[in-house]
């Protein structure tokens, strides 16, 4: 029987599972695996990052985009520790990721050897599977099990590999389970009685909305049809953007802080919320406490977790929405079409769009956020992919970035780690060659990972990196304003990211005017290499839509508030409702 090094047997398992990319930064404890990576260089790409956190975040972004296992690694001690931030993002979003961790040779374990740490406890909380390999023969089997577990439990699997075991020759007879693995079936229909009860509740309501998350992916047609048939304004989570195109008149955009005014308005005033395929963490705060909730989810543990539910339905959202649509069509004239309610919501959306369009034509300096997004939308290809960082860029992207069709975005929504954008751009450019890739980051988040522009340059990745430089941790600055505290620790020094980019071998641009932005985007929209566009933007706070009152009288300082944010043209939603014969009690 032929023998191979155990690490080579492990790499064959990765190949069997369809892994073609691995992100990491080598260290001495990982030498045996690096040798195997070299041997498999024709089938598995090694992407050497400049910081392990970037490798972990890139792997997470890849898995989010593809739905398939992604692999990252770190060496013993500090290399392992650096992976944790990215792995926690995977844990929080239930993303299958495999982390391979170096360890000192077995003879040196438990001796406080150089860079030795007790690594199992380090990864116990973040993982659904964590094992230290104890014999060379185990290595391919343990990695095989780790991948199955990451898929089945939707999370992080960790395999710790003592250095000497990877070098050890073993029989080349391990057969992986990749071909035999059957993915979980996430298609689950609701009980007919639950579908009928849900439709009854919708018909009985006066102001119902359809609120959906990424669990409703693939159901855009059903969502739009239900909206028109039952008079349901469509509202989504931030991650639900793109399921229905942003410019659909009945789509109110997300609700909450990462939102536009229409989504907040209908969220506050709805008396029924059909909560489909979402575990929105602010569900108890952004809707009326007296609203009736229908909570539809595959995961029984989250049904009713965010808001008291009158009806909990265990089903996958697309299947349930198809069932509901079929039953509603059968009802015919017996159903309530809530026509005035939907018309009022559409008018609110139209007034918001008109206001945003006016802002997009504003060429003041420092440049405003709205015209930047107008230009990004204009230059984005129909199948563009956006890696979005964390901070004010989430608010602006939630409001102004137009998604739909084949356009996609990936971000860190719940764990919300800054520095996500640039690594996501690396992963997207590697996995979706030929598509236009953007990263959108604030100056705070971009500075955390800027060293891996070198990785983009090394692999000639055609990424358009946009940096919004406002010289502030703006999201936190706004929170400090809301709690009436002094600005503390939020100021950032200005960085010339164009020069920084040039130092890493990346073409850099500094933009201060709308005319400059248009010229630069015209130049780079079809780039074949990475570029950085450092836009020196205003630090004026965007309109806090969550604080916009439904009724003018609800806010005694309304006129000053609206004038401060140049939002006077935006009527309170209560006035729009009244124009359609709807009066809130």
Helices (H), 67-209: 78-93, 119-124, 138-153, 163-167, 192-204
pLDDT in tens, 490-543: 999 999 999 999 999 999 999 999 999 999 999 999 999 999 999 999 999 999
Confidence check: pLDDT of 285 > 80:
no
**Statement to judge: residues 476 and 575 lie in one domain:** no
Based on the fold, state whether residues 468 and 366 are members of the same structural domain. Answer: yes
Task: Sort 364 into a burial class: Cβ within 10 Å, 0-12 / 13-18 / 19+.
Answer: exposed
230 plus 96 within the same structural domain:
no
With cut-offs at 50, 70 and 90, classify the pLDDT of residue 334.
confident
Domain boundary among 147, 180, 213: 180
User: Is residue 392 domain-shared with residue 499, that is, in the same domain?
Assistant: yes
Burial 545-577 (b: 16+ CB within 10 A, else e): bbebbbeeeebeebeebbeebebeebbbbbebb
Determine which of 262-266, 276-280, 358-362, 498-502 has the lowest per-residue pLDDT on average.
276-280
pLDDT of residue 574: 98
Examine the domain organization and report whether 372 and 497 are in the same domain: yes
Question: 562 and 513, same structural domain?
Answer: no
Is position 186 within any domain? no
Q: Is residue 392 part of a domain?
A: yes
Ranking 204-218, 326-340, 493-507, 523-537 by mean pLDDT, the lowest is 326-340
One domain, residues 205 and 316? yes
Both structure tokens of 312:
């909990």
What's the total number of domains in the chain?
A: 4
Q: How many CB atoms lie within 10 A of CB 277?
A: 25
Q: Of 136-150, 322-336, 352-366, which gets the smallest average pLDDT?
A: 322-336
Q: Answer yes or no: is 187 within a domain.
A: no
Whether 133 shows a pLDDT value over 90: the answer reads yes
Query: Mean of the per-residue pLDDT values for the chain?
Result: 96
Give per-residue burial for 454-481: e unless 16+ CB within 10 Å, then b. bbbbbeebbbbbbbbbbbbbbbbbbeee
527 with 552, same domain: the answer is no
pLDDT digits (tens, 9 = 90+) for 378-388: 999 999 999 99
Both 306 and 235 in a single domain?
A: yes
Q: Is 440 part of any domain?
A: yes
The reply to whether 339 and 206 lie within a common domain is: yes
Whether 356 is in a domain gets the answer no
Percent of the chain predicted with pLDDT > 90: 91
Mean pLDDT across the stretch 572-584?
Answer: 97
Find the radius of gyration of the CA atoms of the chain.
26
Task: Compute the distance between CA of residue 308 and CA of residue 435 in angstroms, rounded to an integer.
Answer: 43
354 part of a folded domain: no
d(CA 25, CA 55): 8
Give the pLDDT mean for 467-484. 96
| The total number of residues written for the chain in this structure | 585
| C-beta separation of 270 from 207 below 8 A | yes
pLDDT tens, position by position, 289-312: 899 999 999 989 999 988 889 999
How high is the pLDDT of residue 336? Answer: 81
- pLDDT at position 464 is 99
Q: Which two tokens stand for residue 240?
A: 């639900």
Going by pLDDT thresholds of 50, 70 and 90, the confidence category of residue 95 is: very high
Q: Quick one: 26 and 140 in the same domain? A: yes
pLDDT of 33 reads: 97
CATH of the domain at 302: 3.40.50.1220
* Dihedral sign, Cα of residue 406, residue 407, residue 410, residue 416: negative
Confirm whether 29 is domain-assigned: yes
Which residues neighbour 330 within 8 Å (Cβ) at sequence distance 6 or greater?
none
The arithmetic mean of pLDDT across residues 244-263, rounded, is 95
Residue 110 has pLDDT above 90, yes or no: no
Q: Which of 348, 379, 411 is the last residue of a domain?
A: 348
Residues 532 and 551 in one domain: no
* Residue 183, burial from CB neighbour count under 10 angstroms (0-12, 13-18, 19+): exposed
**What is the CATH classification number for the domain harbouring 423?**
3.40.50.970
Q: Which range of residues forms the domain containing residue 238?
A: 192-348
pLDDT of 197 reads: 98
- Residue 69's pLDDT is 98
In a domain, 353, yes or no: no
């Amino acid at each position: 029987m032929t023998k191979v090094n155990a690490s080579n047997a492990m790499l064959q398992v990765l190949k069997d599972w369809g892994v073609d990319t691995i992100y990491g930064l080598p260290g001495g404890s990982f030498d045996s695996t690096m040798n195997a990576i070299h041997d498999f260089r024709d089938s598995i790409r090694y992407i050497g990052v400049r910081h392990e956190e970037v490798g972990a975040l890139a792997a997470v972004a890849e898995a989010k985009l593809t739905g398939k296992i992604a692999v990252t690694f770190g060496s013993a001690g500090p290399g392992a520790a650096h992976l944790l931030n990215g792995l926690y993002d995977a844990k929080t979003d239930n993303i299958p990721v495999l982390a391979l961790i170096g360890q000192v040779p077995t003879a040196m374990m438990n001796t406080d050897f150089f860079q030795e740490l007790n690594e199992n406890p380090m990864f116990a909380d973040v993982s659904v599977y964590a094992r230290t390999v104890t014999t060379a023969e185990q290595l391919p089997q343990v990695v095989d099990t780790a991948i199955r577990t990451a898929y089945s439990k939707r999370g992080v699997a960790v395999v710790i590999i003592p250095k000497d075991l990877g070098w050890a020759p073993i029989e080349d007879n391990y057969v992986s389970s990749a071909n035999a693995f059957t993915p979980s079936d996430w298609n689950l229909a609701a009980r007919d009685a639950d579908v009928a009860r849900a439709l009854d509740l919708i018909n009985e309501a006066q102001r119902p909305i359809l609120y959906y998350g990424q669990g409703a992916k693939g159901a855009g047609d059903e969502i739009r049809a239900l909206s028109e048939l039952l008079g349901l304004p469509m509202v989504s989570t931030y991650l639900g953007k793109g399921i229905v195109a942003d410019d659909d008149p009945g789509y109110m955009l997300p609700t909450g802080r990462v939102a536009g005014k229409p989504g907040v308005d209908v969220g506050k005033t709805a008396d029924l919320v059909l909560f489909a395929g979402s575990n929105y963490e602010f569900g108890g705060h952004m809707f009326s406490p007296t609203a009736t909730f229908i909570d539809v989810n595959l995961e029984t543990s989250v049904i009713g977790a965010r808001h008291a539910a009158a009806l909990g339905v265990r089903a996958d959202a697309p299947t349930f929405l198809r069932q509901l649509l079929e039953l509603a069509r059968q009802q015919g004239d017996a159903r309530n079409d809530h026509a005035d309610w939907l018309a009022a919501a559409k008018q609110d959306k139209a007034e918001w769009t008109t206001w945003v369009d006016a802002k997009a034509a504003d060429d003041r300096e420092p440049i405003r956020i709205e015209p930047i997004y107008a230009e990004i939308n204009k230059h984005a290809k129909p199948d563009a992919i956006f890696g979005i960082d964390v901070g004010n860029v989430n608010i602006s992207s939630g409001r102004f970035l137009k998604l739909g069709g084949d356009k996609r975005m990936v971000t860190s929504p719940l764990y919300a780690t800054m520095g996500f954008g640039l690594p996501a751009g690396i992963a997207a450019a590697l996995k979706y060659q030929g598509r236009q890739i953007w990263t959108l980051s604030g100056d705070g988040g971009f500075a955390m990972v800027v060293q891996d522009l070198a990785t983009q340059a090394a692999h000639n990745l055609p990424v358009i990196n946009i940096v919004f430089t406002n010289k502030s941790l703006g999201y936190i600055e706004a929170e400090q304003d809301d709690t009436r505290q002094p600005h503390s620790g939020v100021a950032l020094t200005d960085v010339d990211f164009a020069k920084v980019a040039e130092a890493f071998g990346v073409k850099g641009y500094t933009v201060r005017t709308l005319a400059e932005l248009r010229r630069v985007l015209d130049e780079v929209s079809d780039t074949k290499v990475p570029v950085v566009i450092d836009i020196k933007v205003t630090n004026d706070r965007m309109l806090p839509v969550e604080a916009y009152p439904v009724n003018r009288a609800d806010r005694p300082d309304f006129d000053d508030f609206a004038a401060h944010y140049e939002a006077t043209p935006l009527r309170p939603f209560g006035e729009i409702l009244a124009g359609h014969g709807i009066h809130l009690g």
